[in-house]
């Protein structure tokens, strides 16, 4: 990891609000199909600064989820470059990208993606455990208390409601104290009221942990809470 010029986090984090944490240059994603090549993304150039909250919006199939995956280092573009917190993702292999993910980002998913065989507490402890940190439990308990689930520590995901599951997912996302939090339709599976609560919680924690937030959503209320909205259509940024 020493070769990676990543922004250190925690107390030494620079306070400059306009430091660029995500930068893409001419990113394209082209996949082969039976009918020939299909461009899912084309010519994506964007910069996201530290502390910003950005909503990526667009119709179904516009390419926004693919873009999110590429920005988070879950996927690689077929052309162009992506850097995340100073790390050139497109120059790294999967092993190194995983390390960047583990250290720099948090993720909240539409389908919550909690591990069914783990309790709420264990799900939140997971990122720290993956980094080999022993003292993960107290932090996880505190985070679950913050999201209002102090009484549900030993419940399994199947014993929790959708809203509760998403709170666990949010607690887990912040457990690694990420520089950037990616969220994919975080309210997509929730009713309006629960969705609103989750949005509040997300922004509350985002402010508290001073995280950059990048989310994909169809939810106008959610998009409206973000500082910037990027609209995608046909694989291109249109606004």
Partner 1 sequence: MGFILRLAWRDWRGGELGLLVIALMVAVGTVTAVSLFVDRLHQALLKESATFLAADRYIGSSAEIPESFRQAARDLGLETADTLSFPSMVFTADDRNSLVSVKAVGPGYPLRGVLRVTDVPFTPPVVTTELPEPGEVWLDGRLFPSLGVALGDRVEVGYATLEITRVLTSEPDRGGSMYDLGPRLLMRIEDVPATRVVQPGSRLSYRLLLKGEEGALETLKADLGIEEDPNFWWRGIRESSPTIGSALTRAESFLLLGGLLGVLLAGVAVALSAHRYARRHYDHVGVLKTLGATPNQILASYVGLLAVVGGVAVSFGLLVGSGLHLAIVAMLQSIIPVALPPPSVRPFLLGAVTGLICAIAFALPPLLHLKNISPMRVIRRDVGAAPPSQIASYGAAVAGSLGLLIWYSGSIELTAWTLLGTLGALALFGALATVLLRGGRVVGMQAGSGLRLALAGLQRRRKENTAQILIFGLAIMLLLILLLLRTALLDEWRNQVPENAPNHFAMNISPEDVDEIGVLLEANSREQGGLFPMIRGRITAVNGIPAKEWEATHRSEMEDGPRLSSGRNLTWAEDMPDDNALVAGDWWDAADTRAMVSLEDDYAEDLGLSIGDQLTFDIGGETLDVEVVNLRRLNWESMRPNFFIIFSPGALESFPATWMTSFYLERDNKQFLNELLSRFPTITVIEVDAIIAQVQSIIARVTQAVELVLGLVLASGVLVLIASIHASRDARLSEHALIRTLGGTRRLIAGSLTAEFAALGLFAGIVAVVGAEITVLILQTQVFELGASVHPWLWITGPLIGALLILVVGLLGTRQLIAAPPISVLRGLN
Cα 102 vs. chain centroid, distance in angstroms? 11
Q: Note whether 127 binds partner 1 by CB under 8 A.
A: yes
Q: Note whether 203 binds partner 1 by CB under 8 A.
A: no
CB closer to partner 1 out of 131 and 221: 131
| Sign of the alpha-carbon dihedral angle for 182, 13, 51, 207 | positive
Pairing between strand 236-237 and 228-233?
antiparallel
CA atoms within 13 A on the CB side of 43: 5
x/- map, 12-51, partner 1, by CB under 8 A: ----------------------------------------
The region of 15-23, 52-60, 124-132, 207-215 touching partner 1 under the rule CB under 8 A is 124-132
Spatial CB neighbours of 63, under 8 Å, sequence gap ≥ 6: 29, 40, 41, 232, 234, 235
Q: Which residues face 41 on adjacent strands?
A: 29
CB closer to partner 1 out of 15 and 115: 115
Q: Note whether 157 binds partner 1 by CB under 8 A.
A: yes
Ramachandran assignment for 235, one of left (phi > 0), alpha (psi -120 to 50 degrees), beta (any other): left
The region of 45-53, 98-106, 193-201, 231-239 touching partner 1 under the rule CB under 8 A is 98-106
Q: Which of 15, 18, 35, 94 binds partner 1 (CB under 8 A)?
A: 94
List of long-range contacts for 95-101, beta carbons under 8 Å, 24+ apart: 96/1, 96/4, 97/73, 99/1, 100/4, 100/6, 100/73, 101/72, 101/73, 101/74
Q: Note whether 89 binds partner 1 by CB under 8 A.
A: no
CA distance 111 to 164: 12
To the nearest whole angstrom, how small is the minimum distance from the Cβ of residue 34 to partner 1? Answer: 15
Q: Which of 41, 44, 92, 126 binds partner 1 (CB under 8 A)?
A: 126
E strand or H helix at 49, and its extent? strand 36-49
Q: Note whether 113 binds partner 1 by CB under 8 A.
A: yes
Q: Which of 56, 84, 122, 213 binds partner 1 (CB under 8 A)?
A: 122
To the nearest whole angstrom, how small is the minimum distance from the Cβ of residue 94 to partner 1? Answer: 5
Q: Note whether 112 binds partner 1 by CB under 8 A.
A: yes
Q: Which residues bind partner 1 (CB under 8 A)?
A: 65-66, 68-69, 72, 74-75, 94-95, 98-99, 101-103, 105, 107, 109-118, 122, 126-127, 129-132, 156-158, 172, 176, 184
């Amino acid at each position: 990891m020493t070769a990676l010029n990543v922004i250190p986090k925690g107390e030494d984090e620079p306070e400059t609000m306009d430091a660029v944490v995500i930068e893409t240059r001419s990113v394209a994603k082209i996949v082969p199909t039976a009918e020939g090549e299909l461009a899912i993304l084309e010519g994506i150039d964007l910069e996201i600064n530290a502390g910003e909250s950005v909503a990526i919006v667009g119709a179904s199939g516009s390419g926004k989820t693919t873009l999110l995956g590429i920005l988070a280092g879950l996927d690689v573009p077929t052309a162009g470059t992506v850097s995340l917190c100073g790390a050139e993702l497109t120059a790294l292999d999967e092993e190194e990208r995983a390390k960047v993910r583990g250290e720099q980002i948090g993720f909240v998913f539409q389908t919550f993606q909690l591990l069914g065989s783990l309790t709420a507490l264990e799900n939140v402890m997971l990122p720290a455990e993956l980094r080999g940190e022993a003292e993960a439990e107290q932090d996880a308990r505190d985070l679950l208390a913050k999201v209002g689930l102090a009484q549900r520590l030993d419940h399994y995901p199947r014993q929790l409601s959708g809203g509760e599951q998403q709170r666990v997912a949010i607690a887990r996302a912040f457990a690694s104290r990420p520089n950037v939090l990616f969220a994919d339709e975080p309210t997509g599976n929730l009713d309006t009221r629960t969705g609103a609560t989750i949005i509040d919680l997300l922004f509350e924690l985002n402010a508290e942990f001073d995280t950059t937030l990048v989310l994909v959503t169809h939810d106008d209320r959610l998009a409206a809470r973000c500082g910037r909205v990027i609209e995608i259509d046909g694989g291109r940024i249109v606004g």
